[in-house]
Chains A and B, each alone.
Chain A
Amino acid sequence: MALIEVRGVSKVFGPKPQSALPLIAEGRSKAEILAETGHSVGLREIDLDIEAGQIFVVMGLSGSGKSTLIRHLNRLIDPTAGEIRFAGDDILTYDIKALLEFRRSKMSMVFQHFALLPHRTVVDNVAYGLEIQGVGKRERRARAEEWLETVGLAGYGPSLPDELSGGMRQRVGLARALCTDADVLLMDEAFSALDPLIRSDMQDQLAALQARLRKTIVFITHDLDEALRLGDKIAILKDGALVQVGTPADILLHPADAYVESFVRDVNRVRVLTAETVMKPPRLRITTENLDEALRQVRASPHDFAYVQTADGGGYGVVTQEGLEQARRSRTSLKDLTHELPSVQPGQALEEVLPVALQSQFPLPVVDESGELQGVVTKKAVIGVVADQAEARAARAEAAEGDVEPQPSEPPAA
């Protein structure tokens, strides 16, 4: 069971929201419904599963309903129809008291424009969530100082928010959200207001924090690069409807429709995709020291080479059938026969794998942290990724200007 389950959630803004629901069910467009009933559709029949411990990115342009969606998760906005469950609990049945408790202990939030309290010092801003919960001054300040240190702002406690730069302010926002130790972190365009360099810094810091804290993070962004960089899973929203949900590789390699395609076409895939996403299942791996047995195994396999672990740490090499046959005569050991290969980590970007793969005459072994052979990356697979994109680009260039491309629409923000 997913930590957060969203089922059939629709949101309509207007005086009689229920009246637009049948039209949504009929699949009428946002513009039609607005023209017909004067109601603005924020979300239409959203189903999502957000697993604990992952960074779940919701991506969409402005007006796509992504900010509306994230506000449903802590009920800053209530849906017109549908269900939202947290750890199996239907949060829509919560009364005020239960809802406040839920917001205090389970969810915290980071905002696009930081939303710090300008009249309070940095440390009191960070401690705000605890203050709401009634934690004593001494304790909440001590905990706030710890989080300030974690986000790299030790010593800034007594400053006022307006004395800090944008990036620093958002770190305060992050520390404030982390300080309540909630299970889920909702981040609403948290880095969008920052300069590119600082944004990339903050992304790194968030990734590093997440590696340590293993929170469930729901991250909203309009920036695909950011989504691909941070997301374990990405959901793409358009006009309030989900277009695609999947891993970054899914989105890049198998865009669900022309709209997603239009987003991903200019992404540098070699930079974003990892060895994992193109690797093939592992080929034959020889574990015996016996040459005859090894040769038998290689002959039985469809390939004329096999992988051999050369060191406990996870170095791998190959032995060829030809080599084995010669070695049986000359009585060399398996180790001496082995042709050592550079190994690749599953998470390594293809950008780094590409040059190595091109130089190697054998598929490169993909080895995980524990030294296990996960699979192999062939030259062809890597080149395929590059060629696909180049081909698509060439095809687009060829197609005349009259080509109708899916235009990301910009309806009024809900």
Chain B
Amino acid sequence: MDIFMDFGPVIADAVNRAIDDLVIRHGDDFEAFSNVMLAVLVGIEGWLRSLPPPVVLAAAAAAAYAASRRLTLALGAAAGLWLIGSLGLWQQAMQTVAIMGVAVGLSMLIGLPVGVLMARSDRVRAAVLPLLDLMQTIPSFVYLIPAAMLFGLGKVPAILATVIYAAPPLIRLTDLGIRLVDAEVLEASRAFGATRMQMLFGVQLPLALPNVMQGINQTMMMALAMVVIASMIGARGLGETVLLGLQRNDSGQGALGGLAIVALAIVFDRVTQAVGVRLQSRAARRG
């Protein structure tokens, strides 16, 4: 006896029809949106690629030093980027940094307000949490197919896929950070007649900052983890190098791409971690 109902074709048809419908009715809107994003991305990418590598190395070292006050980290950051250039992957790395930068920026734009709303309302939280679980577990290809249809192949769907995958930790940690703010401090702010906005920007966000920073770090790492998948729908960069290695059965090239991605990840991770640690130690010294 067959106990199963036959939902499969029904759902698949419905999804296909919905996507077709979207393409037909709102195709122009999606294209307009896509063009705006593309313009931003291309602008950043062009600027990064036009910079002389020594300037980028110096900037990375300066940022690392500002974040950690440690000379070793500053030198390490510069060395990491130098290694990537020496692997012959400088241009690709800059493309990847641009995509990652836009994806992380977009994640923050979406993630911070959503995190704030979640912290403020248990109902919003209950609604958003399963959505975050879904975003983190559903295989990227599932939404890459319609994304490619809506936005065309290339960088824009790659960025959207990256945001879907990378934004959840930032949202979770923003929510957590705000919920962990000392209730008495918040109450003091209320007692002095602060508005909700004054409480948010004067107390909650500043005190949640170490956790938010941790979230940004996580988001960056996950964005980097997406570069190979993103390259499958036409995003250029280090992911493409790995993908080419795979397609051409060229393990050497794959290794080069992988090495460069890891180097990039280490640099970004250490620098943002250092910012987080400094914020954390400032927060921990109270109490």
Contacts and interface: CB of A to CB of B under 8 A. Distances in A.
Interface of A: 74, 76, 99-104, 107-109, 111-113, 115-119, 128-129, 131-133, 160-162, 180, 186
Among B192, B195, B283, the most chain A Cβ lie within 10 Å of the Cβ of B192
Given A100-B193, A132-B198, A119 B187 contact: no
Interface string B197-217: 010001100110000000000
A129 B285 CA distance: 24
A109 B207 contact: no
B188 A118 contact: no
Q: Which of A109, A116, A132, A186 has the most chain B CB within a 10 Å cutoff?
A: A132
Secondary structure type dominating chain A contacts: mixed
A117 B203 contact: yes
18 contacts: A100-B195, A103-B191, A103-B193, A107-B191, A108-B191, A109-B191, A111-B188, A113-B184, A115-B185, A117-B202, A118-B283, A118-B285, A118-B286, A129-B192, A129-B193, A132-B194, A133-B193, A180-B192
Contact of A119 (B190, B206, B287): B206
Given A115-B187, A118-B207, A104 B193 contact: yes
Contact of B192 (A113, A116, A128, A160): A128
Contact of A74 (B191, B194, B198, B285): B191
A180 B184 CA distance: 19
A119 B282 CA distance: 8
B185 A117 contact: yes
A111 B192 contact: no
Interface residues on B, range: 20 to 34
B207 A76 contact: no
B215 to A, nearest CB: 18
B182 A115 contact: yes
A103 B194 CA distance: 9
B192 A109 contact: yes
A162 B285 contact: yes
A109 B195 contact: no
B225 to A, nearest CB: 32
A74 B187 CA distance: 11
Contacts of B194: 100, 132
Contacts of A116: 185, 188
B282 A109 contact: no
Interface string B163-192: 000000000000000000010110111111
A40 B128 CA distance: 31
A251 B33 CA distance: 74
Contacts of B287: 162
B206 A76 contact: no
A382 B283 CA distance: 56
Contacts of A102: 193
Contacts of A162: 285-287
Given A100-B193, A132-B192, A115 B285 contact: no
Interface in B198-246: 198, 202-203, 206-207
B282 to A, nearest CB: 7
Contact of B188 (A100, A107, A109, A180): A109
Given A76-B187, A118-B207, A103 B192 contact: yes
Contacts of B207: 117-119
Between A74, A102, A107, A119, the greatest number of chain B beta carbons within 10 A of the residue's beta carbon is seen for A119
Contacts of A186: 191
B184 A101 contact: no
B187 A111 contact: yes
A101 B193 contact: yes
B210 to A, nearest CB: 10
Contacts of B185: 115-118
Contacts of B283: 118-119
A-B interface, 4 closest residue pairs, ranked by CB to CB distance from nearest = A104-B193, A103-B193, A118-B286, A115-B188
